[in-house]
Structure 1
Amino acid sequence: MHKHSRVNWDYNGKPDFINGTGAYLEEKLLGYSAGFIVPLLLFILILTDYVNWSLLQIAVAILIAFDVSGGVISNSLNSGKRFYHSGRKADEGKQGFIFKNKWIFSFLHIHPLVVSLLFTPVNITYGVAWYLFFMVSATIVIATPLYLKRPVSMLVILHAILLNQYVIAPIHGFEWLMPLLFLKIIYGHLVREEPYRRLLKNII
Structure 2
Amino acid sequence: MVDKVRINWEYTGKRDFANGTCAYYEEKFLGYLGGLFIPVILIAMNISNRMQWNYFQLIIAVFLAFDLGGGMISNSLNSGKRFYHSPSKESEGKLGKFLKNKLLFATIHIHPFIVGIIFNNFDWKYGLQWYLIFIISVLIVYISPLYLKRPLSMFMVLIALLINSFFILPIVGFEWFIPVLFLKIIYGHMVREEPYRKV
Judged with a 3 Å threshold, the aligned counterparts in structure 2 of structure 1 residues 3 and 169 are, in CA distance, closer, same or farther, namely closer
Other-structure match for 2:162 = 162
Write the mapping of 1:17-96 to structure 2, written as runs, cut at 5 A.
17-96=17-96
Other-structure match for 2:99 = 99
How far the C-alpha of 1:74 sits from its partner, in A, is: 0.3
Q: What SS is found at the alignment partner of 1:36?
A: helix
Task: Show structure 1 runs of 5+ residues with no match.
Answer: 200-204
Q: What SS is found at the alignment partner of 1:11?
A: coil
Q: Distance in 2 between matches of 1:122 and 1:29?
A: 36
Give the structure-1-normalised TM-score.
0.95
Q: Distance in 1 between matches of 2:82 and 2:28?
A: 14
- Is 1:175 the counterpart of 2:175? The answer is yes
Other-structure match for 1:126 = 126
Other-structure match for 1:116 = 116
Q: Distance in 1 between matches of 2:193 and 2:49?
A: 42
8 Å Cα contact 2:116/2:123 also seen in 1: yes
Q: Distance in 1 between matches of 2:122 and 2:103?
A: 29
Give the structure-2-normalised TM-score.
0.97
Q: Distance in 2 between matches of 1:75 and 1:3?
A: 23
- CA deviations 1:74-123 (Å, max 9, x no partner) are 00000000000000000101111110000100001011111111112342
How far the C-alpha of 1:54 sits from its partner, in A, is: 1.1
Q: Distance in 2 between matches of 1:82 and 1:39?
A: 27
Other-structure match for 2:4 = 4
How far the C-alpha of 1:3 sits from its partner, in A, is: 6.8
8 Å Cα contact 2:32/2:70 also seen in 1: yes
Q: What SS is found at the alignment partner of 2:13?
A: coil
- CA deviations 1:153-176 (Å, max 9, x no partner) are 000000001111110011111111
Other-structure match for 2:189 = 189
Q: What SS is found at the alignment partner of 2:23?
A: coil
RMSD after superposition? 1.0
Amino acid at match of 2:181: L
Q: Distance in 2 between matches of 1:193 and 1:61?
A: 31
Q: Distance in 2 between matches of 1:65 and 1:58?
A: 10
Task: Show structure 2 runs of 5+ residues with no match.
Answer: none
State percent identity of aligned pairs. 53
How far the C-alpha of 1:38 sits from its partner, in A, is: 0.5
Amino acid at match of 2:147: Y
8 Å Cα contact 2:43/2:58 also seen in 1: no
Other-structure match for 1:202 = none
Q: Distance in 2 between matches of 1:46 and 1:122?
A: 21
Q: Distance in 1 between matches of 2:150 and 2:156?
A: 10
